[in-house]
Structure formats: C-alpha cells, structure tokens
A and B are shown apart, each in its own frame.
Chain A
Amino acid sequence: MTAAALLFVVAATATGGAAAPAAPASTAAAPASAPADPFPRKDVAPLVKQVFAGPIPFCNNPRYPLTKDEVRWCTLIPKQDARCPELARACNRGATAEIVGHRARPQQSSTTIRFPSAPAPVRILLWILLAVGGAFLIYLIARQALAQRRPAKEEDAIEVATAAPDDAAAAAARQVETDVQRLLERARAAAARGDFGAALDDAYAALLRKLEGANIVTVESHRTNGDHVRDVGRQLPALRPRMQAVVSSVEEVQFGGSAPTESRFRSVMLDVVGLLGERLAACVPFIAAIGLAALLAGCSDDRDSWEHSTSGRVLVVDLLKRYGFTARERLASLSKLDATVSSVLLLPDTRVEDADWNAIAKWTGEGGTLIVAGGTRTLPEWIGATIVTDPPATPATNSPPPLTVPPEQADRLPKLTAVVPDGARVQISTPAPRQQPYSEDGDEEDPPPLPIIVRGKAPYAVERTYEGGGRAIVIADDRLLSNVSLLVGDNARLLVELLRPGGPKLELTGELTGLVSQDPITSVQRGRLAPAILQLVLLIVLFFVYKGAHFGRPVDPIANSRRAFSEHARAIGMQYGRRRAGRHALEIYGSYALDRMRERLNLTGGKGLLAVAEELATRTGRPLGDVMRVLVESRPANQRPTDPERDALAQEANAAKDLATLRDLYTLLATTGGAGERIRSQRQA
C-alpha cells in the first residue's frame, strides 16, 4: 500500500564510466580519483535474498521484541515477505522492548577520581583514613629498611656471647639460615669459590626450606632425608622421584664418601631449581585456564549481539561483502587513514577528534571518499554541510515522504524506490567554503555540495567532490544502514549505489574506532583503569609488607627485645663466669642462703654456723663435717679460714669447686623448705 505510494523512479541513464568496468584491484591501490564506477553493478535483489536466508532472529521469531524506533519501520515493510516471514507478526505486537544501554561512547574526559557526594565530616574522615593508611605503609617500609642497616646491638652481642660460651664460631654455626633465596645465593657463591660440599648442602637446604614453607615437609632435628622424601611422596607424588634423586646425590656426599664435584652440584642444583619452580609451574595451567576463560568471557557472543537486531548492521555488512565490497570495521585511529582505504563510512557512534578530521581532510584531498551517516557531531567547514536534527514541525507519520533524486542527479543513480522513517535532514552551508584544506591546487575552487537525494524539499543526502578526486557524502541519518532497511523497496540498492563510487575498500567506523591506544598510559586512561590498578598495586605492596618480602636484602625477623627472666639470669651468670667471678657469686649466694636457712630453721638471734649445720645434718642425714664444710666454703673470704689446698689449685679447678659448693648449698637450702623443696615434693608425689 504505502510502499507503492512511496515509489519513486529515477531514470537509469548510466554514465559512460559506469558502463565501463574497472578492476577493483586497481582502485584498491589508489583511492577513487574520478566519479567512475570502480567495479561493475550487480543485481542487488538476489543478494538481499541470500542475506536473509540464514536464521535471522527478528525474521523467525513472531515475538521478537522491537523498540519504538524499530516499530516505525513496520508500516514500510511488506505485509507478506518470504525473506522475513515473522517480522510482520512481531510488528503487530508493537514496541515491546526498550534500549536499556547504549553503546554510544560519551565524550571522554580525563580520568579523575571522584568521591561520591558525602557530608563534609565523612569526606574528612575518608581523607584522614587514607592519610593514616599511607603513613602506616611508609612507616612499615622505613622500618624494614632501617632494620637492614641496624648495627648489631650490644644486647645481641651479649646474647651471642652468653648463649655460646665456647666461642663465636659455635654461635655462628648455630645461626641457621632459613631464607631460600639466600641459601641459593650462598650455594652459588660456595660453588663459585670451589667449595662444592657447602654448595650442595646449601642447595639442598634451600629445597627443604622451600618445601617447609609450603607445609610439605617438616624440618626438625630428628627427621631424616627419607622422612622428607616420604612427606613429599604423600603430598606431591609426582615430585617424589626427583626429590629422591636429589636426596640420593646429597647423601652420597654426606655419608657415601663421594667427592662433591662441580658436575654433581650442577645436577643437584638443576633438580633443586626445577623442584622449587615445580609448584609454581603446576599453577601455570590453572592460571592460563582462568586467563583463557576470562578472555573467552570477554569475547562472548553478547558482544555486538545487537548487530543482529532489526536496527543492527550485520546484514548490511553481509550484503556489501556479497556485492564486492571488502567492508570491515575500522579499529585503527582515523588519524592513520591512508591510500589502502578507498572509502570510510562514519557512523553516529564514532568519536572523531580534531586530528582525525585533519587526517580525513588530507585523505579526501588525495582521492578518498568520506560518507557521513547521521550523528550529531559538528562537521568541519570543508564538507560544506551539516546534519540538522531539529524537532519536526509535525509529529512523525506512518507515511513518511519517499526519498527522491533531484533531476540534476538523474544520471548519478539508477531507477529505484526507497523510503526510510522520518528523521534528520542535511543542511548545505552557504556560502560554501572555497576549497578543501589539503587541495593540491590552491587556486581552484571546489564545487559546492549538491543534494543527491531529497526527502520532500529537504536534502537527505548531499555530495561534494574535491579537486583531488575525493568526495564527501553526508547522509541525514544511518537508517539506510540498518538490517530492516534492506527489506524495504530498493533501499538496499540505493545504499549500494551511494557507496559504490567510493570504491570497494570500505571501512565502517564505530565506537571502537581509535580505541587502539598509542601507549599503555593512554590505554589505561581510556579504560579508566587507573584507580583499579592503583588499588591493586597498593594491595600488592601491603601483601609484601605483611609477608616481610624482600624490598631489599633479606634480613631475619627482628628479635623480640623482651626476654624471659631465666635468660637474664643466665646472661648475668655467664658474665660472672667470663669475669671469673664465680667465687664472688658463691659468697653472695652463701650469705643469702644462710639468712634463709636461719629463718626457716628458727635459728635467728645470732646463732652461729654450727647450729645451722647441726640442724641441716639432722634433716639430711649427711655428716656434720660435710655440711659445715659447705657452709664455711660459702662464706666471704674474710670470714673463713685460709685454704692451702684451694690456693694450690688452678683457677679452673677453683671455679669447678665453687660451682660444686654452690650446688651443695642449694641442696641444703632446699631441704629447709621454700620453692625448691616444694617442687621436689611435688615431683615425688
């Protein structure tokens, strides 16, 4: 019905150039430089039929949801169309869908971190928390760094001396290295200086420490290498043979009398490094699988699914390909346009920067064809036209006026009928700018834009050609480029005829065009990933601080400065021992013990040593002389008789004798009660 009314006829008086076929290959090498047909005309109708032969969702589903804008096509499509049998029924349901998200990219601004609007106190608190967190982080890092430079404290020196009275070497020997990296470094260093025995030990120790860190083995002084191998076999059976090989090599040196050679060390080191990386390597497939899954999820069918909808473009692109265009989506920036592209179709979602326009201008000056299909952007002056989307004076009707060809363009387009829903129009700038900025001939004026299709009295599409052979076509909207449009009249043919002079190397731009970033920073900026990456980095830093991981040279954890009472007592005792002041200690303890004994035995009132000795001898059953000797020995020098035997003894022997006396005294004191007696009676009980 209305379709018949919408028909318009164009005299198909093809130009001479149109009749003369030209090889597409030649146009591919260089943009179209003349309004000649770059490749021969084809019959579009069979191609459209082929395009719709596949399982098109909106053609095969009578309940296909249509948007309000898509419903506007319903009055234009045939009621019975074998190519798309169910669309008419879907149209009867009216608009049942809404556009819930639009892929159109908003104008991009620089990446800024904005806090949600909140009351001032909350914002202040947030800033305070951030500042405290940052300060704490800096403190931790600084403390870690200072700990590495901290000189050994005097206290530590005492501890080493007291813990190992023998000598410093014994103390050093007890310093057990537990850091895997340092052990490996030590192994390499030992190997470098030719000490392969030590190198083997360190390499093996590194392996055990690594496994211990992973809770696979338990390193304890009573556990043998066989225990470690069995532990590994239980938890990681696949690693057991390699672990056994390492252990065998090490044991051959440790117990088998084999020489620790360089080749043996290299073999063990290779196995050790392999085993150290084994667990990580075991995670690689898992990580790779996750990455692949994420990648596949990102490439899921959801992307561009709307392209298969009524207002999508997938069928249009398919038609163009069948016709002979090498139509494809352009992802590279428009600023990189070159002669390998013969025409560019600028769709509404495309973001075009000033640099892009400059590149496009230069490219059209060299013969390229720019087709602008709709959009609200401001077009550069050299195009000489703008798209006007002012609200219509009358509401949209079910019978929009057909698209007609002005008489002066009758030789430009063949005979066809076309119609699209109401929409924008193209306005030709007056006066038109003289020429394209990159025109090769600066003196010549480019002809002004001319309407090639009008709707009613308003231009629907205009075309301007440039001296360089290029051209710019501005179409009021992109409705001709929708899937459903191909079903209406000769819309498909009109579309092809509009694009054909531009040559087969056609690229469609969209929202993804130009997203290929020049550098990683731009990429992050465009992806707005800066906050996420910053948070990730912060988390990693915190994690490493928590784990005490290496920011610099690895150091042992800072020793706890608080010590047990027994450690203090031992340290003081060792100091006495080192100063050979055992006698002094005995005298002090003797005075203390004698006082306690007198208290506990009720011998206060100035009773002498004999009374104490008698009481103790009675209690312990020891000979009185023996007890008396102990008491006298523990008296200060000025209160005891001279001991010629003692004087004859060497210092070491005297120290041993003093110690024996002190122990005797302790035993005697314990018999009088107090903590020692209590503990002993508890033990006996």
Chain B
Amino acid sequence: MNVSVLKDKLDRIRAEIGRAVIGQEEVIEHTLIAVLARGHVLLEGAPGLGKTLLVRTLGRVLGCENKRIQFTPDLMPSDVTGGNVFNQQRGAFEFLRGPVFTQLLLADEINRAPAKTQSSLLEAMQERSVTIDGTTRPLPEPFFVIATQNPIESQGTYPLPEAQLDRFLFKLDVRHPNTANEKAILASHLAGFDASALDRVGLARVTTPEELVAMQTAIRGVRVDDSVLEYIADIVGRTRSHRSLYFGASPRASIALLAGAQAHAVSTGRDFVIPDDVKALAPAAIRHRVGLQPDAEIEGVSADDCVAEILREVRVPATIAA
C-alpha cells in the first residue's frame, strides 16, 4: 500500500467522519493518526463536545467492531475483561469475554472508575491481550482504546495513574466549537441529524479491519532520518530536565512521537518524516506523560506550556539559523 493510496483512504475517512462530527478537525486528525500508529487516545473535554459521537462514528467508518464501557465507581475489573464463571450444567468453569474483547473500545468517562478497575486495561492496552487466572487471551486486531474524561468534575472521580496515562499515545483536548461551527451543528440538527441514531446518517464504511491493519503495517515503512530521530530524542530528553516538570516523559513517549510522526507524514502525502510532523504532535504525545512541579502548577503553568517552551529551545534539524 503506497502513500498516495493511504492518503486517499485517510481523506475519505476524514470526509465521512466530518459528516457527523462538525468542527473538531484537529481532534479527528489526531485520532486518525493515533489509530494508524496503533495507539490509544485519551480525549479530555467538557461534556457535550462530541467525544462519544466521534468514537462511534469512527467505529462505523473504519468498519471495526466497537463496544462501549461506561466507567462508574462501582465498576469491577472483571466487568472490563470478563472472567471465569462456573457452568453448572457442564460442571466446569467457562470464560465469559468482557467488553474489552473488541476492536474499538470506548472507555467513557474512564476517570469515574477507581484505579483498580482502570488498571484492568493496562495489559490490554500495552500487550493487546488479557490474562485471567493464568491464561492469556489475545485481543482482536486491530485493537485500540479511545477513552474520554471530563476535566472539570473532581467529585467522584479518580485521576488516572501515570502508568495508565503513559499507555495512551495521545491525550487530546476537545475544545468548544467556534460560532461558525456551532451554527453548522445547529443547522445539521435542524436538518434531522440525531447523534443517537447514526444509522440514519448513512455513513459509508471506508475500510475493513484487515485494511486497517495493512495501513498500520504500511505506516512503519515511512522513512525517518537520523536527524529527526535526534530531534525527537532531544525534545523528550528535555522534558526530564525542565525546571517546571517533576518528572519527564518516558522512552515510550519518544516511540509514540515517532509512530505518530510517521502517520502524520502519510496523512499529508509524504513517505518521510519531517520536523514539522514531530512538532505538530509533540504536545499531544507528551502533555499527559509529564508531571508538573507543585510550584509550577500553582503558578498556572501547564504541561502544554512546558512542551511549547521545549519546542522553542530545541534546534530543528537542517535549520539555517545560527
């Protein structure tokens, strides 16, 4: 599968998603890149911004089986992964598959479940398998998790542990639409659009799961110059010595940035990565992998500010500047 075919597919996917989700182009773009890079996405935004709609639309357009778990405080790990249940008729234990056994998993409001339940996804997200009672069961391919969380509510929520956060390729901020997009959303609803009845929209299925896996495989062939690798390493390395950061990003962040940059290059029709690809994705790939110093947090410094500062400090490869 060459770059032009990949780009064509991506353009069609974008167009189809755009029919249902209006005014979140950057989130859509980044989510697609994460899917291509075999990564998971954490969507953070206020309620009502179309996070769930985006995931449902994505599942339809990509032709993937998708399931949804509404995370609640009383949710148990077995509610996610499934478990062995005694079958009285057969007199033996049988494994009942949990909702994690799907291709596209929507973990809605993931921070409403306690850390114990959230952690049930750790192996699934990293290893793409689930181990229960000593038996490891692989998850279907492709597999990706899109989780949502609400940043403004603290009552009854459990912050995601660092290990969990690190497993998300990108953390995307879903922002409010501007006036023009809001008007377009209203017009769409006036024309009969109903988010709960996506069937009526008539979204086309652009890919099959097999095609998606082929696309993910093709992405890995995108060329990355040594200087770009150095650029990525420099950016991530500086998060570890930044004065406002308590801890920096892990090598997993570098890998995420690399994979994302490859997918980003393809989405713009290139078969090689340029520094712009890295720069464009650095905030999404790093912001959830770093911890702010308490004083910086008090001063209102955000992780995005730190990443932006780092990007201003790191020398871009092949620049002509002194």
Q: Report which A residues bind B (CB closer than 8 A).
A: 174, 176, 201, 204-205, 208-209, 219-227, 251-252, 254-257
Contact = CB atoms under 8 A, between A and B. Distances in A.
Top 10 A-B residue pairs of the complex, sorted by shortest distance between their CB atoms: A226-B276, A256-B272, A221-B321, A176-B322, A205-B320, A255-B225, A221-B315, A254-B318, A224-B276, A224-B275
A251 B322 contact: no
A251 B265 CA distance: 12
B320 A176 contact: yes
B273 A255 contact: yes
Nearest to B319: A221
Interface string B223-243: 101011000000000000000
A224 B272 CA distance: 15
A283 to B, nearest CB: 26
A224 B319 CA distance: 7
A224 B274 contact: yes
Question: For the side of the interface on B, what is the size category?
Answer: 20 to 34
Interface string B207-229: 00000000000000001010110
Nearest to B315: A221
Contacts of A227: 276
Contacts of B321: 176, 219-221, 223
Given A208-B320, A223-B316, A255-B274, 18 more contacts: A174-B322, A201-B320, A209-B320, A222-B311, A222-B315, A224-B279, A224-B319, A225-B276, A226-B274, A252-B272, A255-B225, A255-B227, A255-B273, A256-B225, A256-B270, A256-B272, A257-B223, A257-B272
B204 interface: no
A221 B274 contact: no
Interface SS of A by simple majority: helix
A222 B312 contact: yes
B225 A221 contact: no
A226 B316 CA distance: 11
A209 B322 CA distance: 12
Given A221-B315, A225-B276, A254 B225 contact: yes
A256 B320 contact: no
Contacts of A223: 316, 319, 321
A459 B309 CA distance: 101
A525 B228 CA distance: 66
B274 A251 contact: yes
B317 interface: yes
Interface string B279-311: 110000000000000000000000000000001
B163 to A, nearest CB: 31
B313 interface: yes
A224 B231 CA distance: 12
B166 interface: no
B44 interface: no
Contacts of B16: none
Given A219-B321, A255-B225, A224 B316 contact: yes
A28 B276 CA distance: 79
Max chain A CB contacts within 10 Å: which of B279, B311, B318? B318
B274 A225 contact: yes
Nearest to B272: A256
B316 A221 contact: yes
A243 to B, nearest CB: 14
A255 B312 contact: no
A225 B317 CA distance: 10
Contacts of B275: 224-226, 255
Nearest to A202: B320
A433 B309 CA distance: 102
B316 A222 contact: yes
A46 to B, nearest CB: 76
Contacts of A220: 319, 321
A184 to B, nearest CB: 14
A23 to B, nearest CB: 79
A221 B227 contact: no
Nearest to A251: B274
B271 A256 contact: yes
A252 B316 CA distance: 16
A9 B202 CA distance: 108
B198 interface: no
A208 to B, nearest CB: 6
A255 B311 CA distance: 19
A226 B274 CA distance: 9
Contacts of A219: 319-321
A221 B275 CA distance: 12
Contacts of B320: 176, 201, 204-205, 208-209, 219
A226 B321 CA distance: 15
Max chain A CB contacts within 10 Å: which of B225, B279, B314, B320? B320
Max chain A CB contacts within 10 Å: which of B225, B273, B276? B276
Max chain B CB contacts within 10 Å: which of A201, A208, A223? A223
Given A205-B320, A256-B270, A222 B314 contact: yes
Contacts of B270: 256
A161 B216 CA distance: 51
A37 B225 CA distance: 96
Nearest to B275: A224
Contacts of B322: 174, 176, 221
B314 A257 contact: no
Interface in B134-172: none
Contacts of A224: 274-276, 279, 316, 319
A462 to B, nearest CB: 85
A176 B319 CA distance: 11
Contacts of B311: 222
Nearest to A226: B276
Contacts of A209: 320
B305 to A, nearest CB: 15
A219 B276 CA distance: 15
24 contacts: A176-B321, A201-B318, A201-B320, A204-B320, A219-B321, A220-B321, A221-B315, A221-B319, A222-B315, A222-B316, A222-B319, A225-B274, A225-B275, A226-B275, A254-B317, A255-B223, A255-B225, A255-B227, A255-B228, A255-B272, A255-B273, A255-B274, A255-B317, A256-B223
A207 B161 CA distance: 49
Contacts of B313: 222
Contacts of B271: 256
A447 B99 CA distance: 132
B214 to A, nearest CB: 23
B304 to A, nearest CB: 16
Contacts of B227: 254-255
A251 B273 CA distance: 9
Nearest to B318: A254
A223 B314 CA distance: 9
A555 to B, nearest CB: 18
A255 B274 CA distance: 6
B88 to A, nearest CB: 64
A252 B318 CA distance: 12
Interface in B21-37: none
Nearest to B316: A224
Nearest to A256: B272
Contacts of B276: 224-227
A224 B317 CA distance: 8
Nearest to A250: B318
Nearest to A207: B320
Contacts of B317: 254-255
A174 B275 CA distance: 21
Contacts of B314: 222
A251 B228 CA distance: 12
A327 to B, nearest CB: 69
A174 to B, nearest CB: 7
A15 B310 CA distance: 108
B127 to A, nearest CB: 33
A176 B321 CA distance: 7
Contacts of A222: 311-316, 319
Interface in B68-109: none
A221 B279 CA distance: 13
